[in-house]
Amino acid sequence: MSEAPSPYVETDPLPKPARGALRLVTWNINSVRLRLALVAKLVAQARPDILCLQETKCPDDQFPHDGLAELGFTHRYAHGMKSYNGVAILSRVPIAEPAPLHHCGREDCRHASAELPGGIALHNVYVPAGGDVPDPAANDKFKHKLDFVAAQTAVWKKRGRKGPAILVGDLNIAPCETDVWSHKQLLDVVSHTPVEVAALGGMREAGGWVDVARARHPEPQRLYTWWSYRNGDWRKSDRGRRLDHIWVTLDLAPKIKAFHILRGARDWTQPSDHVPVAIDFAP
């Protein structure tokens, strides 16, 4: 059985999307103001038509609209706050009805939606990281993470079958055994605990979502999108996790033309600890 070619992209520019296809990239940028130059680098390498950012760490009145407009993103929606979290949708093609969504009785800037050409609903989500202790009774941050995923599950269950949709973002959970560098060693580590994996599976099934990465690159192919800053040589130790996801509704799955993980971005100057993940799709 032949394995699909690796989705990892190092430094070469990505090939252009097929005719009529749009390129959508999701990236936890870990401060949009600090890394505006890296957005320019991403644009040069990948030319995204739509770019979803997480962890912008930027209040809306300080969002770098001018610099992003200069990079060709004529349509921009920022939903951020001071210091923490924050999501943004940037686009070269028109987006309709951009809006924030709130969960768990908080307004902590973790979810934005918009409508793409072709009537595709786009959701950009930043799931709470969850702190260090994987016990909701002992750790409020972990409880918030589970509550947030449960709230998402309820949203998608309620939505039902209602047209094409794409969900992207830093979901902060690596669901498969080969989504982490060591399944056994991470069973007790927040991001890969069985309770989180089960919760994320429930969220995915509630929306009928297809996990594009795994649809195209099934296990046991290893797929990572995040490498900790704490490992000196990330490439040598390769202790990665697949925390960043692109999900699509079943009707869109056949319209996905390409999938890439821009692993080379982890070596850019002053990098994010997450790398961009891309799909090309024909709406």
Partner DNA sequence: ATGGTTGTTTAACAA
In the complex, the smallest distance separating the C-beta of residue 230 from DNA, rounded to whole angstroms, is: 4
249 Cβ contact list (under 8 Å, min separation 6):
163, 164, 165, 166, 207, 208, 209, 210
Task: Select 85 or 249, whichever has its Cβ closest to DNA.
Answer: 85
Show the tokens assigned to 278.
């891309």
In the complex, the smallest distance separating the C-beta of residue 134 from DNA, rounded to whole angstroms, is: 13
- Per-residue CA distances from 129 to 55, 149, 219 (Å): 11, 11, 24
Residues that bind DNA (CB under 7 A): 30-31, 33-34, 55, 57, 82-85, 128-131, 141, 229-230, 232, 270
Task: Select 226 or 281, whichever has its Cβ closest to DNA.
Answer: 226
**Which spans in the chain are helix H?**
36-46, 65-70, 140-159, 183-186, 194-206, 212-216, 234-237
In the complex, the smallest distance separating the C-beta of residue 132 from DNA, rounded to whole angstroms, is: 8
Task: Select 219 or 238, whichever has its Cβ closest to DNA.
Answer: 238
Q: How many residues appear in the chain?
A: 283
Task: Select 104 or 129, whichever has its Cβ closest to DNA.
Answer: 129
In the complex, the smallest distance separating the C-beta of residue 252 from DNA, rounded to whole angstroms, is: 28
Distance CA 256, CA 215 (A): 10
